[in-house]
Structure 1
Amino acid sequence: MNERQMMTASHVLVHVLGARPNFVKAAPVIRALAGRGVEQVVVHTGQHYDRAMSEVFFDELGLPEPDVNLGVGSGSHARQTAALMTGLEAEFTTRSPDLVIVYGDVNSTIAAALVAAKLHIPVAHVEAGLRSFDMTMPEEVNRRLTDQLSDLCLVTSPEAIGHLAAEGVDVHRTHLVGNPMIDTLLRNLDRFDTARVRAAHGLPDRYVLATMHRPANVDDPETAAALVQQLHGVADLADVVIPVHPRGRATLLAAGLDDHPRVHVLDPLGYIDFIAAVRGAAAVVTDSGGLQEETTILGVPCLTVRPNTERPITLTHGTNRLVTFEELVPAVRKALDAEPAAEHRKPPLWDGQAGPRIADVIMEFLGD
């Protein structure tokens, strides 16, 4: 081992992962840092805790087994965040990392950033600067606070740089690196076998894939019933395939989600099967953030049932469109009738190399 490798090996980096989007974003970063000689620790908080929402992602994406699983599970925002902070404080105190790396906007993200800041441990935030400007979204609160606490704001799209500057984040903390979620998508492109997934789940050749889990859409029974009515309207046009997230499952089923003969309700899918299903869809209906990005690269029409998005670049460079409940069925009809676009613009640096760029920024921050 040469002098430079010995110096690098003294660094300890802790990745905090809590929910399935975190795993997809972290995989290329962990892979890129693995070749730099640093010691990496993976903390799985257990915010997503069933196999299809967590463990299967480690298997499919080649992530190292977590060094620890805090097993926090579900609960109110306050209870979950408090449990996360208690568990993470013990981990950070024991391990004394040189840098804590957090991803996205889930409760695990803000909990880790708060604990690290109070322990005077630097924080790197992957996917910094995204803004919906909707403070009723718990994720928006998490994003804003995490960025204020982060020493490195690792940005996936150009507009995020302006958001951070407007909030007083020092420009030297901000780095445009591209989107590591797209690294994972492009790396696994040959594994997304739509025909196999169709056969495994008895799906038709033509279908609309739907995912719904945002509190504003699924927590209130009346709102969920209105959403289900619109999804049934979509099913009148084409079969609807909906892997149901644990959040909202009971409410959506109580509202009669599976009462329509052309609605196929599935359990959550692993990453490979899920993106294979997305790739083969005639259109996607969602309230997810990451799916807006993945459909942008796959060229699948995406209708996002939200009044806003923290990913506006998917509207300008991708296939995404925001719709209300009332607009959903006409928008799906239009998407189904449209000819597939021959080509569409892709956001800058969404090229499969975000992981190495993030590793470069981190190593420079550590002085290597």
Structure 2
Amino acid sequence: MKVLTVIGARPQFIKAATVSNKIRKNNNTEILVHTGQHYDNNMSDIFFEELGIPKPDYNLSIGSSNHGHQTGSMMIALEEIYLKEKPDMVLVYGDTNSTLAGALCASKLLIPVSHVEAGLRSFNKAMPEEQNRILTDHISDLLFVPTLTAENNLKAENITKGVYNTGDVMYDAINLFKERAKKMSNIVEKLDLAPESYILSTIHRAENTNSIERLTSIIGALSNCNEKIILPLHPRTKKFIQEYNLPIGQNVTIIDPVGYLEMISLENNSKKILTDSGGVQKEAYFLKKPCITMRDETEWVETVNNGWNTIVGSDSNKILDAIANFNPTGNPPSAFGEGNTSEIITNIIQKYIG
């Protein structure tokens, strides 16, 4: 079995760490292609090093640009690789431009496509991620959904063939790397933080960073709350904060983007998590941390329905109220599989290829 895996962004590196490990353990061949969508060390290289992901066979070094140019450049480069490597299956993750480019290029060459994290819907087609995931799902041959909600979303679009409810590979990753993070990461000590003395925040979605109104409201809420905020700052967010000349409160500690093990450590020791990231929402859920989501909707409705995530958009008052008063108790119900998703996915691909 020869699988070609396309990855390009931080969440995909984490997911691939678990699945690639299973593919290669079964004496199969995996060709790993890194598009270069996330390309600096803190957003890319460090993840390969600390998660033990094999060095990519190809690094396209596409970098950031407008959506059409970036996606088109990826497809041009991927087509040459597909024709050379002749894989039995192309494997893509999530909802980035790398996902769509990898799937669309394979589909046009009649190479079967597997989509990990299929079926997610925010029902907001203004989001590039929503466009990417819908298009990828409709041209995929194997669709690995993480939840029953995702499966039902596909049914509503008349996609039923090749759909498998496998659970979530991110749950596999948390289980695999949580203990390693405790042993290998000293970021909490380095920042002189006591456990549960701070709120961890991340901001990177285009809907928040590209809008001066939304980003001003979010930064204002963070700067005016009565909590210590730790903010690993995405390069795009940093650029817009500077461009909009937004003042940052003294309670907000800005740090550079961190690796996965450091991120888990910061999450695990936080009091609450304030984010617009889909992956971080789930990590908060797995680690039993209250999550405040600064978006108008979420694909991970289970985290909200089960009481551990609240949607506040970019409204300062709602953000401040949630920081002060959102305090779920007990344990989050299991909603994302049993932690063996990577093995299930690998077995299904192997059976499909034959």
Partner residue, 1:30: 20
Residue 204 of structure 1, CA deviation: 5.0
Alignment-mate amino acid for residue 217 of structure 1 = N
Partner residue, 1:6: none
1:225 aligns with 2:216: yes
Greater shift, 224-233 or 172-181, is seen at 224-233
Partner residue, 2:113: 123
Could you tell me which of 94, 115, 136 is aligned with 1:146?
Answer: 136
Could you tell me which of 64, 68, 79 is aligned with 1:74?
Answer: 64
Alignment-mate amino acid for residue 346 of structure 1 = S
1:343 aligns with 2:331: yes
Partner residue, 1:3: none
Partner residue, 2:262: 273
Q: What do residues 167-210 of structure 1 show as CA deviations (whole Å, max 9, x unaligned)?
A: 121x2310011111111111111123398222212345511111
Alignment-mate amino acid for residue 44 of structure 2 = S
Partner residue, 2:286: 297
Q: Residue 299 of structure 1 contacts residue 318 of structure 1 at CA under 8 Å; is this kept in 2?
A: no
Residues of 2 paired with 1:260 and 1:159: CA distance? 39
Q: Residue 219 of structure 1 contacts residue 251 of structure 1 at CA under 8 Å; is this kept in 2?
A: yes
1:98 aligns with 2:85: no
1:357 aligns with 2:347: no
Residues of 2 paired with 1:254 and 1:260: CA distance? 17
Alignment-mate amino acid for residue 301 of structure 2 = P
Q: Residue 192 of structure 1 contacts residue 279 of structure 1 at CA under 8 Å; is this kept in 2?
A: no
Residues of 2 paired with 1:361 and 1:119: CA distance? 22
What TM-score do you get using the length of structure 2 for normalisation?
0.95
Residue 27 of structure 1, CA deviation: 1.2
Q: Residue 318 of structure 1 contacts residue 345 of structure 1 at CA under 8 Å; is this kept in 2?
A: no
Q: Residue 147 of structure 2 contacts residue 165 of structure 2 at CA under 8 Å; is this kept in 1?
A: yes
Q: Residue 34 of structure 2 contacts residue 59 of structure 2 at CA under 8 Å; is this kept in 1?
A: yes
1:136 aligns with 2:123: no
Partner residue, 2:101: 111
Give ranges in structure 1 of 5+ residues lacking alignment: 1-10
SS at match of 2:274: strand
Residue 14 of structure 1, CA deviation: 0.3
Q: Residue 304 of structure 2 contacts residue 310 of structure 2 at CA under 8 Å; is this kept in 1?
A: yes
Residues of 2 paired with 1:316 and 1:259: CA distance? 33
Residue 307 of structure 1, CA deviation: 0.9
Partner residue, 1:209: 200
Partner residue, 1:330: 321
Residues of 1 paired with 2:87 and 2:97: CA distance? 20
SS at match of 1:153: strand
Greater shift, 340-349 or 64-73, is seen at 340-349
Partner residue, 2:147: 157
Residues of 2 paired with 1:257 and 1:319: CA distance? 30
Partner residue, 1:49: 39
Aligned residues: 350
Residues of 2 paired with 1:116 and 1:334: CA distance? 48
Identity %: 37
What TM-score do you get using the length of structure 1 for normalisation?
0.92
Partner residue, 1:288: 277
Greater shift, 186-195 or 315-324, is seen at 186-195
